[in-house]
Structure 1
């Protein structure tokens, strides 16, 4: 597996690369967005770590480019301490997780492992299931989604949320359970905001224009569900 690190502070990128190499990951490191674009278009990437602030192209622009070009691997954003708007923006554009600077390298490595574990969970089972519901077709093994015959490009987290809700169709999935199952992390009060951002983005892609016609229903104070 190859991890792409896009970070303009050489001391940080070198340190992260050392820790990831110690875990037997291959690493591609670059310090500008333009270098990153070249790697994204030429190499097979398993996960990308993107710093928000770069000297040319921002991490947000790279994140958008990756998703718009149908690359589905996990993205972890590196943000400055206290920049809540950076976190929300990154998640909205398709990032799967974020780490706030300064951070401990072992924490980042743990998050990398969690994201890769989640991304490969379905493919490693060999399942060949197709979930269908009101024009939606979700191919579990290939991690592809179609809506009325049209392909929908979802991020890994959006895909996992949709699968979880479809598998529990007719039942409410509590926000805490949804977060723990999809992110595989401990739930905190702020975790509900992370879930909310992903749900909103997923709804936009599914064309949910109103609560009455939406695939995904909000059960206020509890969680979310897809009606059976």
Structure 2
């Protein structure tokens, strides 16, 4: 079965280009021009990835990000050079990665394939052992963490970061290592911000008080770690 990608952009020329790129690479492609249509197609078609322009008419791209994040569908954001703030907001609302227009075709495909691979790797994960770090019980196969018996569901990106930190409790993992292990791009432009945004998302899900974290901590100049 071919990988499915949903394209969401209100510019016909961009949709035409994206459709050519992904179909030429062997993807099944659907495309829409609004956030409302995107969510309707997502419910019906169940894409492996959504490529989303933040600046949509009607329902905002940020609202779409939020809804797709709740459904744990990977999102690759398209942005213009003057939309840096929108990109950060998109990442905070659940986007997994971004590409800036005008984009390199090979880079776009590489990022798309990595995001899909991350989700497939979770669904096929044969690892059944749970990872216990202090009060947290991490179930990588189900992409969730349990805190005091409560199940908290994570996205593929979030669970990969948490698994990485869980390998070495109490020992900081620097941002370059997180980028290399999770995104496969240690020199990713804007990468540090993506890591920070995902750490914030994890804290909001896992911590009782995200402003005073007790599980996911930071050691200045060294990186992030899980408190054992």
Q: 1:210 to 1:52 in 2, by over 3 A?
A: closer
Look up the SS of the partner of 2:5 in the other structure.
strand
Q: 1:155 to 1:122 in 2, by over 3 A?
A: closer
Q: 1:21 to 1:219 in 2, by over 3 A?
A: same
Structural mapping, 1:156-175, within 5 Å: 156-175=156-175
Residues matched between the structures, number: 226
Gaps of 5+ in 2: none
Look up the SS of the partner of 2:55 in the other structure.
coil
Q: Which residue of 2 aligns with 1:54?
A: 56
Q: Which residue of 1 aligns with 2:90?
A: 90
1:189: Cα distance to partner?
Answer: 7.0
User: In terms of mean alpha carbon deviation, does 37-46 or 126-135 score higher?
Assistant: 126-135
The CA RMSD over aligned residues, in Å, is 1.9
Q: Which residue of 2 aligns with 1:6?
A: 8
Q: 1:86 to 1:134 in 2, by over 3 A?
A: same
Q: TM-score, normalised by structure 2?
A: 0.91
1:35: Cα distance to partner?
Answer: 1.2
Whether 1:221 aligns to 2:226 is no
1:29: Cα distance to partner?
Answer: 0.6
Q: Which residue of 2 aligns with 1:80?
A: 80
Look up the SS of the partner of 1:120 in the other structure.
helix
1:138: Cα distance to partner?
Answer: 1.7
1:125: Cα distance to partner?
Answer: 4.5
Residue deviations 1:164-208, cap 9 Å, x none? 101221222111101111111132574222211211221111125
Alpha-carbon distance in 2 for matches of 1:109, 1:210: 35
Residue deviations 1:100-148, cap 9 Å, x none? 1121232211110111122222443422221123332221122222222
Residue deviations 1:201-227, cap 9 Å, x none? 211111253787510110101111113
Q: Which residue of 2 aligns with 1:45?
A: 47
Candidates 54, 63, 66, aligned match of 2:65: 63
User: In terms of mean alpha carbon deviation, does 212-221 or 54-63 score higher?
Assistant: 212-221
Q: TM-score, normalised by structure 1?
A: 0.91
Q: Which residue of 2 aligns with 1:137?
A: 137
Residue deviations 1:39-93, cap 9 Å, x none? 111122111111111121111111111223xx22211111121322111101111
Q: Which stretches of structure 1, 4 residues or longer, exceed 4 Å deviation after superposition?
A: 210-213
Whether 1:204 aligns to 2:204 is yes
